Amino acid sequence: MYVYFPLQNVKNKTPCLESLLEIQGKIDAALASKKRAALLFEKLPDLKKYIDHAYTDSLTLSDDARAETVLTEADFLKEQATLLQKLKENEQNIQSEHISAVPKHTEKLQTLSQIQLDQQDTVAHLNEESRKILNSYNNIVSLLSKQFVMWDETLTKLEMQASRK
């Protein structure tokens, strides 16, 4: 439910407190005939109390259960305390000019990251081309080696035939 209140007091320059009191009065008048809404407003403090995490824990957990929970999480709590101590020790470094300037350099970093990605793509393409060239070279050398072996065998046979004559 929305209640519209015209801003007439702005023109009259009525102090803020008086404006708020006037608005509160209009809200009370609008809700006076609404019993359920009035009950809801009366129950708001109880609702806030029930939503509070500490209150629900006090209802559901006994003191022994809370103590046991803390003891089971002791290692985790010690670790967190150690990390917090390190954070406090490094607080001056964290709040240094260099760290606070990081947002200013984000755009440059993104540009450099894009350049690096493009270069990685280029290197991957060059690697693939190099593999193809090396495969071609190896195939040619292998074929030449086979050809030389065949020529050597042929030459050996011819020399043997010539030496028999």
More confident residue, 111 or 3: 111
In sequence order, which residues have a C-beta less than 8 Å from that of residue 98 and are 6 or more positions away? none
Task: Band the pLDDT of 76: cuts 50, 70, 90.
Answer: very high
Q: Has residue 37 got a pLDDT over 60? A: yes
- Specify the pLDDT at position 26: 85
Q: Has residue 153 got a pLDDT over 90? A: yes
Q: How far apart are CA 68 and CA 62, in angstroms?
A: 10
Task: Band the pLDDT of 16: cuts 50, 70, 90.
Answer: confident
Mean pLDDT (whole number) for 52-72: 80
- Specify the pLDDT at position 14: 61
- Specify the pLDDT at position 46: 85
Contact in structure between 38 and 31 (CB atoms under 8 Å): yes
pTM, to two decimals: 0.36
Structural tokens at position 50: 């029930």
- Specify the pLDDT at position 9: 47
Residue of 97, 77, 73, 75 whose CA lies nearest to 85: 77
- Specify the pLDDT at position 13: 59
Mean pLDDT (whole number) for 106-132: 94
- Specify the pLDDT at position 1: 46
Contact in structure between 25 and 5 (CB atoms under 8 Å): no
Task: Band the pLDDT of 12: cuts 50, 70, 90.
Answer: low
More confident residue, 7 or 32: 32
Average pLDDT, the chain: 85
